[in-house]
Structure 1
Amino acid sequence: MTGYHFPKGGLPPQTSLMTQRAVFTDAYCFIPKGCFSDIVTSYLPAWDKTRLWLIARPMTGFSETFSQYVMEVEPGGGSDAPDPETGAEHVLFVNDGLITLTIDGEGHELDAGGYAYIPAGSRWTLLAEGASPARFHWVRKLYEPAPGVAHPQAFVTSDRDVKPIPMPDTNGAWATTRFTDPADLRHDMHVNIVTFQPGGTIPFEETHVMEHGLFVLEGKAVYKLNQDWVEVEAGDFMWLRAYCPQACYAAGPGPFRYLLYKDVNRHAKLRGPGAFGPAR
């Protein structure tokens, strides 16, 4: 493991070619690392000394279930009121730096590789306490309760402490670091880390209802998105709507790793936006 990529910001020089690899289609969006410049950062109410790249948000007819931010908090910055949306659940994954995260009165320190799940309705705060900026991903989703299923509890762990699980019949060439049990029906989303060793592949075109956000943490590969093979590397972001075919070939020389969001474990909506029946 060589570290987790994070945007450097800034602006390309005036001598740079403007044409890069960015693509937006009706099936996927590909944001290469060169697009993470200072001019597309934003700020949030109630956050001090903080900027972010907002890289995914619900869009009708595209990907509708989640938002994803790439956060940069200067030392001493953070928030005592991070999100006014009380119905949102959260996953934080730390790329670099040190944060103190308090969830319902219990404090936790997270450094690079740190992972936190924060249930909807929790009271939480975040403070960057290191000598350098804290940099982390923040995935948000409206939690969907299910009849007879308890709500999930908060937990904090680390990439270092969760052993990757090899996919069947791959000899470890493709493995997933699962931070929640796939059979735990309390959870309606998974945010995991997928690792391919050099030469590892997704050997078929995955085509499924789950939406994806994939931020490349390390390495490089060629990734099939719908009908296109795209070269990807650390710092790139892939945003896939439901049913977008995907496949992968890890190019090496080291592991190819990405942070992956997907929605799981709930019935398809038949009423309201994106469905046939009226809301009730």
Structure 2
Amino acid sequence: MTDYYAPLGGLPPQTALHTGRAVFTESYAVIPRGVFSDIVTSLLPGWAGMRCWIIARPMTGFSETFSQYVVELRAGGGSEQPETDPEAQAVLFVTHGSLTLVVDGARHSLTSGGYAYLPPSSDWKLYNEGEETARFHWVRKRYEPAPGVERPAAFVTNERDIPPTPMPDTGGAWATTRFVDPSDLRHDMHVNIVTFQPGGLIPFEETHVMEHGLYVLEGKAVYRLNRDWVEVEAGDFMWLRAYCPQACYAGGPGRFRYLLYKDVNRHARLGGVFGR
């Protein structure tokens, strides 16, 4: 079974050294796993038995398209109305436990590795009907319609059912698990899983219009962020604004994997931030 790192909360001891890897710059942020403490959690209206770490939110002048939550849902918890913004679409990705998702009256079981796409204005509900705490990621983005393009439909799948696609000329050292066909223009965001085998790398500095959220699910690596090489490990989150140069070297000893958000398939907006 695939292992996914998920935060457990708590607080560091009073004897802990006050040094860490957290950083927020003009082009990127790193939120290391040690920052996921009890005192930085949020509670949301309409939920029972839930707390979350809000690790990304739209910020003018930085990353402006999405929010991302790491959610902890206790046994018996859930929500009859998780989403209050009718323009928001969502991706859910389960890292621990099991959840019951109800979409337009249809029930779905999401276990570890479970993935759900929920289009805007979906009638969806979420419950933890199991006996242990469930943990999942919730990525939200306001959907941007395009002329002549219909809105995508909801779907539920699991990472284990989708073969990773090796990147060209890498011999499988770098692969992407794609939950949406990249040529499907109905989708204006992708949430994928990227996997590097030990020794795998991004062999150039990617510099592009897409914003990114990268939550490390497994392993460790050194990641190039703008001018800096940064060590990251399972449980860390990297948040990149558009055009932040990036590269990666996964030195091992095990594979390195992260959940990746990016905005895609739409014109660059002119004269202001989308949704304002």
Short-chain TM bin: over 0.9
1:19 and 1:104 mapped to 2: Cα distance? 48
Aligned length: 276
1:209-261 deviations in Å (ceiling 9; x for gaps): 00000000000000000000000000000000000000000021111000000
- 1:75-154 residue pairs with structure 2 within 5 A? 75-154=75-154
Deviation at 1:273, TM superposition (A): 3.2
Query: Is the partner of 1:34 in helix, strand or coil?
Result: helix
1:64 is matched with 64
Deviation at 1:271, TM superposition (A): 3.0
Query: Is the partner of 1:89 in helix, strand or coil?
Result: strand
Residue identity matched to 2:127: L
Q: Does 1:195 align with 2:195?
A: yes
Structure 1 contact 2–218 (Cα < 8 Å) conserved: no
Residue identity matched to 2:146: A
Deviation at 1:2, TM superposition (A): 4.4
1:8 is matched with 8
- Sequence identity (%): 72
2:225 is matched with 225
2:162 is matched with 162
1:258 and 1:129 mapped to 2: Cα distance? 27
2:58 and 2:251 mapped to 1: Cα distance? 32
Q: Does 1:30 align with 2:30?
A: yes
Q: Does 1:49 align with 2:49?
A: yes
TM-score (norm 1): 0.97
2:16 and 2:26 mapped to 1: Cα distance? 29
Q: Does 1:241 align with 2:241?
A: yes
2:33 and 2:266 mapped to 1: Cα distance? 33
Residue identity matched to 1:235: G
1:2 and 1:123 mapped to 2: Cα distance? 30
1:182-203 deviations in Å (ceiling 9; x for gaps): 0000000000000000000000
- For structure 1, list consecutive stretches of 5 or more residues without a partner in the other structure: none
1:251 and 1:8 mapped to 2: Cα distance? 27
1:61-82 deviations in Å (ceiling 9; x for gaps): 0000000000000001010010
Structure 1 contact 87–143 (Cα < 8 Å) conserved: yes
- For structure 2, list consecutive stretches of 5 or more residues without a partner in the other structure: none
Query: Is the partner of 1:160 in helix, strand or coil?
Result: helix
Provide the aligned C-alpha RMSD in A. Answer: 1.2
Residue identity matched to 1:225: L
1:18 is matched with 18
Residue identity matched to 1:257: R
1:71 and 1:26 mapped to 2: Cα distance? 27
1:47 and 1:251 mapped to 2: Cα distance? 41
Deviation at 1:270, TM superposition (A): 1.1
1:97-123 deviations in Å (ceiling 9; x for gaps): 110001111110001000000000101
Structure 1 contact 56–69 (Cα < 8 Å) conserved: yes
1:83 and 1:114 mapped to 2: Cα distance? 19
TM-score (norm 2): 0.98
With over 3 angstroms needed to count, the CA separation of the structure-2 counterparts of 1:85 and 1:196, relative to structure 1, is: same
Q: Does 1:174 align with 2:161?
A: no
Deviation at 1:56, TM superposition (A): 0.1
Structure 2 contact 64–273 (Cα < 8 Å) conserved: no
Query: Is the partner of 1:169 in helix, strand or coil?
Result: coil
Structure 1 contact 57–67 (Cα < 8 Å) conserved: yes
Residue identity matched to 1:266: R
